[in-house]
Amino acid sequence: MSGHLLPALLVATASEATPYLADLLLIVGVAALCATAFQRLGLPIVLGYLLAGFLVGPHMPARLAVHPGLAHSLSDMGIILLMFSLGLEFSLRRLIRTAPSGGLVALIECSLVTWLGYVSGRLLGWSATASIFAGAICAISSTTIIAKTFVDKGIGGRLGELVFSVLVAEDLIAILLLAVLTAVGAGGTVSAAVVGQTAGRLLGFLIAMLAGGMLVVPRLVRLIARGKRPETLLLSCLALALGLAYLAQQAGYSVAFGAFLAGALISESGEAKKVEALVRPLRHVFAGVFFVSVGMLLDLSAIRDHWSAVLLLSAVVVAGKVLGVSLGAFVAGNGVRLAIQSGMSLAQIGEFSFIIAGLGTAAGVLPGFLFPVAIAVSAVTTLLTPFLIRGSASVASYVDRRLPHAAQTFAALYGSWVKALGESRNRPEWKRVRRLASFLVLDVVIIAGLVIASSLVWPYVARALAGHLPSTLARALVTAAAIALALPFFWSALRTARRLGRLLAEGAFPASADGVDLAEAPRRALRAALELAILFAAGAPLVALTQPFLPTAFPFAVVLVVGVALLGLPFWRSATNLEGHVRAGAQAILETLVAQSRSGHPPPNKLDDLCHLLPGIGEPRAVALDRGAPCLGHSLKDLNLRGLTGATVLAIERGAGEVVFPTADEVLRENDVLVLTGTGEAVAAASEFLSRPRRPSLVTSDGDLVG
């Protein structure tokens, strides 16, 4: 009897597996064909996966028989491996290193895009909850798409470092969004209680997982790695990823959250590179299947019926991310060129958006058409990504040329000021900076709490005053009370922002003790810029956080715009005054630099003394244009030196003692000596650019696109 049981069992098992084998063949085979075709066409492979999913999905007119349960299970595995791989690239040391730049950029950009997405959803007539999900869907760029595009185009250097630091910060914001939206999906609404409970539970879960995991996981992984058996290490790490994904799911969070934590814990073992190399092939396969499963949900009829939503949200993603990232990157000390290139590189959505949309759909709080709309928005923005990256250098050059001259000078010098500010971090004044920053965060939190509390109190007040006061008057009283309570904190936040700006500017350019303050002009310009940056960095998250609790879409946004405009007036005056400071110091710097360039033996410390006496003019360098230099006969406007490198020409020595303060139309001549200034990197790039043949399009030695 037993001799016949095993063959019968094998035959039965094989017959049951046959349909799934056919489905798997269709999924993988069609995905391979579409990916190959898109690769040959030079288009993002992710679009090929989405097309493959549509071809084998239920919405295809000539429907192929693919079991949706199999695709769903494989896509879950793809999510886990994708997030696990992202976690492997995350470490506390990397977060600390990239937080000052990438964190600031991501905070500004995600706040702006989330708010725009929410407002767009409300304009389209969607519910508050659906609009919140729409904002979150638009907020997070695609690490997979950007990484693949950058590898294909050979982009790295400062542009790659900045973009990927923003992506790391965005991934962390996405993890927080997933945790909050899981609670929103469970409750079907947004309230202070939901947000507070979510924050508390998330904090407790993180403490428990990280505290326990740090004690066990790194040691266990190192122990297994010492066995030098790759298959054992791979299976063990996959087991950890699946285990933590399961624990996160049981705790009410997404599997993506748990898988990311598993990768982050394993990265602390020091074996992350080995594990990542082992997981990479599996990740590619299952991530491809994940995008195929997303494409299976692509419903052309839903997109046709809601084409206006697709176009509006696509515009929000592209315009919001280009503006938010560019602004944040410039504030963080990167030049106009690099800021705009990074903004145009991040103008798409991808895997996180699908996960967020799937979370809301599974919870039943989103209308059925929103997932296909999210897929369509991702497809549109992904298709635009290579063209946006390719044209980013030209757009950056165009924007730089259109800036007023005072703004151009400020933009060229601002990066060197931020560098000087970073070098002053070890000074005692930074204790006051950190204390003031904590007060500013506290003011913002209190303002947000008052707005949320007034939204929650309003229904009770309305019931209590029913029959005594009209509903409109009761609402006005509640709003007036909230404004009256919040005004002192608004005023405190504004004062703190101004004090922070002044303190940071004084740290970069300390006042002179001899009574002659030659650093006044750059200090004033830096202070005005920092006040604007701090106000926007604090105000943008406040607007995004409180918008769902406000009856209309624009009150806090109007307040923020008015505040930025008021602070913009002193900024413009200070930028104009900076021109005089630069011109006053340019001739003295020119004479010293020319002597250094021609003799090769400048007087000891004379240049350092001049730069000390005339601070805020960057890191100047003299460049002599000898016979045969390729830039001779071209105007500064034609060369677009500042747009391509970030450096600016302060002055030109021409002939016997003739000094020219050039305009954009100034034509360079033989034996001219140019005084360049800006950051050290920008000046070095400009020096190299002036001495090499011009090309219509090139990639610099550090991998940045420049023309």
CA quadruple 398, 400, 401, 404: dihedral positive or negative?
positive
Span 146-170, pLDDT tens digits: 766 776 676 767 777 788 778 777 8
Count of H-run helices and E-run strands, the chain? 26, 4
- Nearest alpha carbon to residue 288 among 109, 174, 144, 133: 144
How sure is the predictor about 214, in pLDDT bands with cuts at 50, 70 and 90? confident
In this prediction, residue 698 has a pLDDT band, given cuts at 50, 70 and 90, of very low
Average pLDDT on 382-389 reads: 83
pLDDT of residue 278: 82
What are the tens digits of pLDDT across the range 603-614?
444 445 555 556
In whole angstroms, give the CA distance from residue 63 to residue 594. Answer: 75
Higher pLDDT, 8 or 504: 504
Predicted local distance difference test score (pLDDT) of residue 625: 80
pLDDT of residue 389: 84
pLDDT above 90: residue 315: yes
- Within 13 Å, how many C-alpha atoms sit on residue 164's CB side? 18
Task: Tell me the C-alpha distance between 276 and 89, whole Å.
Answer: 8
Taking only the tens place, the pLDDT of each residue in 525-566 is: 778 788 878 887 888 888 787 777 776 655 556 666 666 666
Least confident of 288-302, 507-521, 627-641: 507-521
Residue 65: pLDDT band with limits 50, 70, 90 = low
How do beta strands 658-660 and 648-654 pair?
antiparallel
Find the mean pLDDT for residues 682-687.
Answer: 80
Q: Write down the pLDDT at residue 567.
A: 61
What mean pLDDT do residues 9-23 have?
Answer: 55
User: For the segment 42-56, what is each residue's pLDDT rounded down to a tens digit?
Assistant: 777 878 888 888 888
Whether residue 2 has pLDDT greater than 60? no
What pLDDT score does 553 carry? 52
Three-state DSSP class for residue 495:
helix
3-state SS, 269-280, equals CCCHHHHHHHHH
- Give the lowest-confidence range in 223-237, 254-268, 326-340, 509-523: 509-523
pLDDT score, position 699:
38
Looking at residue 321, its pLDDT comes to: 92
How many angstroms from the chain centroid is the CA of residue 101? 10
pLDDT of residue 311: 92
Q: In this prediction, what percent of the chain has a pLDDT beyond 90?
A: 2
265 vs 6, higher pLDDT? 265
Report the alpha-carbon distance of residue 74 to residue 96 in Å, rounded: 35
Residue 262 has pLDDT above 60, yes or no: yes
| Max Cα distance, the chain (Å) | 110
d(C-alpha 151, C-alpha 58), whole Å: 34
pLDDT tier at 382 (50, 70, 90 boundaries)? confident
pLDDT, the chain, mean: 75
Q: Is the pLDDT of residue 5 over 50?
A: no
What order do you get walking across the sheet with 673-677 strand by strand?
Answer: 621-624, 673-677, 648-654, 658-660
**Token digits of residue 319:** 């315009």
Q: Coil, helix or strand for 34?
A: helix
The structural domains of the chain, ordered by start, are 52-59+69-402 (1.20.1530.20), 405-450+480-568 (no CATH), 587-690 (3.30.70.1450)
Q: Is the pLDDT of residue 414 over 60?
A: yes
Question: What pLDDT sits at residue 669?
Answer: 82
| pLDDT over threshold 80, residue 201 | no
| Entry pTM | 0.76
Q: Cα separations (Å) of 700 from 335, 338, 621, 668, 685?
A: 15, 12, 20, 23, 8
Q: Does 13 have pLDDT greater than 60?
A: no
Long-range contacts of 65-71 (CB under 8 A, 24+ apart): 65/22, 65/23, 66/23, 66/26, 66/27, 66/296, 67/19, 67/20, 67/23, 68/296, 70/20, 70/23, 70/24, 70/27, 71/23, 71/27, 71/289, 71/292, 71/293, 71/296
Task: Give the span between the Cα atoms of 304 and 306, in whole angstroms.
Answer: 6
pLDDT given at position 312 = 92
How many other CB atoms are there within 10 angstroms of residue 54's CB atom? Answer: 23
* Bridge partners, residue 676, by sequence: 621, 649
d(CA 351, CA 170): 12
- Is-contact 342 109, C-beta < 8 A? no
